[in-house]
Amino acid sequence: MDLGRLEYLQALVTEFQVTESSEAKEQVLANLANFAYDPKNYEYLRQLQVLDLFLDTLTEDNETLVEFAIGGLCNLCLDKTNKDYILEANGVQPIINCLSSSNEETVMSAVTTLMYLTTPQSRPQITALPVVECMLRFSLSTNRRLSNLAVVFLDDYCTPVQVEEARSLSKHTAVGIPLPKD
């Protein structure tokens, strides 16, 4: 059974790499992101370099591909080995870049992934001033899911000093990451 699982996942990865169809790529990536939800698949997904595939896809122009890639990373980073891999592969910055997406699910997954990836070593990058400013804006969103998640980020991952500094800076600037469309 498990050999069949590896072969199936390998077939999905191969299909993603060879297909020219955007629709097929989206469907395959959605499937891989779903498989990333099950810890039984973590080792296979690492073997098949799906973490790299997800990380590489974060820079695509196709918003749907980005949504599924960040969703897959969000599912995978609960595992310590996967988390360490993403951090060592400089995955934090491309994930932070997803905060500026107009796709609500992409933004939600990016915020959640950043929370899961926070370690003493990654905290300075994940709670850098532009990210905290962004979370302050998200906390004011009319979208309850997003505002609640941003409040958790600010309360649980940032120091009061960081939040205050971001608050005072955002009073003086109109520049920033736009809120995702509902």
Q: Are 74 and 34 in contact (CB under 8 A)?
A: no
Q: Is the pLDDT of residue 176 over 60?
A: no
Domains of the chain, with CATH numbers? 2-120 (1.25.10.10), 128-174 (no CATH)
d(CA 163, CA 135): 9
Amino acid identity, position 40: K
Q: Are 55 and 94 in contact (CB under 8 A)?
A: yes
Amino acid identity, position 73: L
Q: Is the pLDDT of residue 1 over 50?
A: no
d(CA 82, CA 117): 10
Which two structure tokens, joined as six digits, stand for 98? 């997803």
pLDDT in tens, 56-111: 999 999 999 999 999 999 999 999 999 999 999 999 999 999 999 999 999 999 99
Q: Is the pLDDT of residue 51 over 60?
A: yes
d(CA 79, CA 161): 30
Amino acid identity, position 131: V
pLDDT band (50, 70, 90) for residue 174: very low
Q: How many CB atoms lie within 10 A of CB 26?
A: 16
